[in-house]
Structure 1
């Protein structure tokens, strides 16, 4: 029987591949914010969609992967933010909530609320040139 670590590594790898596929063709920025109690860790990497391969892979991808792994090994939740430049010069933002390496897509309104409201509920955004989009459900192959 495979260990929890091996199973989690396979699931994390499948999740990263699904995110790359969801990103589509082109250059993107992938950020992961891991939240557990008062802990708030974040890493950002660049990625080229839609396929995950070793050629030209951002060296910070392993830090992003480690934060995703924490959702399976330590509990807690991570938020994945995918930023994609659009032909209009704007940036599309899509987000997913990840718990135990399972990603739940956020709607455009949920992403807007998360990024445009401060801790006291006061509107702080939106960021100029950013469009919030519904995140697609991810197809994660086992």
Structure 2
């Protein structure tokens, strides 16, 4: 690979990681004060080599705690970095991700909202779609709803 192509690819990856970090900063701002949980599930189309007609989905997931309203970038956890890398990977692989924010209030109530992430742009989901996204496990299987959790329409993120 020529040197200019390597430099161009490296620049693209750096910009992608910066955009991923900006998305997480905005998520921390929207989450507000306190520690919250973020789950990202990436879905990539894959072809089975033995069957050219079959296209399936490969799932990868990551979860981290997020303290808002300001993201601590001076000392990020390994889980936060993994989540940012997973989001960056969705852009590089032309994949889609679901980003789920689980906010816990001091009174113990839990509210969940979610976004569909395409090209590192977060598209807000409705309450019903947030419910579905929250029930999607990193392996692609669905889990049942959690009792007492309120599912909300996600706000717009500016990243």
Cα deviation, 1:77-121, whole Å, max 9, x if unaligned, reads 01001101134422100100001111001111221244469xxxx
Selected match of 2:99 from 80, 84, 87: 80
Contact 2:114 2:134 in 1 (8 A): no
Q: Which has the larger radius of gyration?
A: 2
Map residues 1-142 of structure 1 onto 2, 5 A cutoff: 3-37=11-45, 38-54=57-73, 57-115=76-134, 125-140=144-159
Cα deviation, 1:34-86, whole Å, max 9, x if unaligned, reads 01122111111111001112356332111101110012101110100110113
Moved more, 94-103 or 47-56: 47-56
Cα distance in structure 2, aligned partners of 1:109 and 1:131:
11
Give structure 1 stretches of 5+ with no counterpart.
118-123
Q: TM-score, normalised by structure 2?
A: 0.75
Distance change >3 Å, CA 11–CA 90, structure 1 → 2: same
Contact 1:89 1:129 in 2 (8 A): no
Moved more, 38-47 or 5-14: 5-14
Cα distance in structure 2, aligned partners of 1:61 and 1:115:
18
Q: TM-score, normalised by structure 1?
A: 0.84
RMSD: 2.3
